[in-house]
Amino acid sequence: MKRIGILTSGGDAPGMNAAIRAITRKAIHEGLEVYGINYGYAGLVAGDIFRMDESTVGDKIQHGGTFLYSARYPEFAQVEGQLKGIEQLNKFGIEALVVIGGDGSYHGALRLTEHGYNTIGLPGTIDNDIPYTDFTIGFDTAVNTVLESVDRIRDTATSHERTFVIEVMGRGAGDIALWSGVAGGAEAVIVPEKDFSMRKIADKIRAGRNRGKKHSLIILAEGVMHADEFAKELGEYGDFHTRVTVLGHVQRGGSPTARDRVIASQMGAYAVDLLQQGKGGLAVGIENNKIVSHDILDLFDAKHHAELSLFDLNNSISY
Ligand code: F6P
């Protein structure tokens, strides 16, 4: 194998640039040529492909986003698009591809694999919702970004004796809410993986107030419901001077944390090792601090499990 390609796809995540850098530098170190593909699968089909060298990835590790740009491209679910993508790869003499992205991106990688094209997936999403990896690239940065906001909101919540419902991203997964909730000392964490009782939450806030507590913070995962709706329902159980903050896309940007840069670098270099061994159809992850890989196909039969011990922990220490 002489040439590999890299693309980032789906929602961007801090640390994607660190992964692109690691793949590129490691591959060049091993004597391979590297091509960048802009705008994910859309750029692949359009042939938006360029040669990269060691300098192309210089001065990128500290930046959020992805300098290869990203796109959501549902059209890649069609065989026609997949074959066009492979045609473009063949045209450039690219023999294997590394895809960095989330669930949708892995579907694309699986399809390419089914057409006999060697593809390796790296988990790049703030949601942390990919099976067979304890952490995805971007999750740690997103949690820290949320945490910074939670700390700020706590200041103003205390001054005005208010309750805040803070809606965080995560799609169908509660990971961002769980980690930022525990780290931020939130009175309640509401996630799709656990049922909740509005009455119990209201009782908890009331008990805190009666003890002289000045603020209440509720971290709500977007997969449960909208924060406005939640605040309205909470209002039916009492007046808690509630305000709503939807953090939104601020969670997707920013300079990646050391942890995200390191796991991105480890996973990127490992992907090159796998390709050099002639392997493909694999998804890279980190389990118990060790970089691992699994058959991409297995990911679609598996389910991501959020760390729900954090939910119980939060209930026992935050009230
Ligand atoms: O998958 C990452 C994510 O940020 C989710 O947390 C969120 O639900 C979604 O993407 C938002 O998508 P978009 O950027 O396309 O609005």
277 is in an annotated binding site: no
154 is in an annotated binding site: yes
Q: Which among 175, 131, 153 is positioned nearest to 311, based on CA atoms?
A: 175
> What distance in Å separates the CA atoms of residue 107 and residue 105, rounded to the nearest whole number?
5
Q: Residues of 211-245 as b/e, b for ≥16 C-beta within 10 angstroms?
A: eeeebbbbbbbbbbeebeebbeebeeeeebebbbb
Helix, strand, coil abundance in the chain, percent, nearest 5? 45, 20, 35
CATH of domain 139-253: 3.40.50.460
- Angle between helix 258-276 and 139-160 (nearest 10): 160
What per-residue confidence (pLDDT) applies to 317? 96
Mean pLDDT computed over every residue of the chain: 97
Contact between residue 36 and residue 70 where contact means Cβ atoms under 8 Å apart: no
* 124-181: pLDDT as tens digits: 999 999 999 999 999 999 999 999 999 999 999 999 999 999 999 999 999 999 999 9
The catalytic residue among 12, 127, 140, 175 is: 127
Contact between residue 117 and residue 85 where contact means Cβ atoms under 8 Å apart: no
What per-residue confidence (pLDDT) applies to 147? 98
ipTM of the complex: 0.98
Burial classification of residue 74, based on how many CB atoms lie within 10 Å of its CB (0-12 exposed, 13-18 middle, 19 or more buried): exposed
> What distance in Å separates the CA atoms of residue 317 and residue 75, rounded to the nearest whole number?
47
Q: pLDDT band for 310, please (50, 70, 90 cuts).
A: very high
Annotate 61-98 with DSSP letters as a single string. TT-SS-TT-----GGGGSHHHHHHHHHHHHHTT--EEE
Whether the CB of 111 sits within 6 Å of ligand 1: no
Separation of CA 184 from chain center: 20
* 46-90: pLDDT as tens digits: 999 999 999 999 999 999 999 999 999 999 999 999 999 999 999
> What distance in Å separates the CA atoms of residue 100 and residue 18, rounded to the nearest whole number?
11
Whether the CB of 102 sits within 6 Å of ligand 1: yes
What Cα–Cα distance (Å) separates residue 256 from each residue in 151, 155, 169, 265? 19, 25, 17, 12
3-138+256-301 and 139-253 have identical folds: yes
Q: Is residue 127 annotated as a catalytic residue, yes or no?
A: yes
Pick the CATH number of 3-138+256-301 from 3.40.50.450, 2.70.70.10, 3.40.50.300, 3.90.380.10: 3.40.50.450
Q: Which atom of ligand 1 is nearest to the CA of 126?
A: 2
Q: Domain residues of the chain, as ranges? A: 3-138+256-301, 139-253
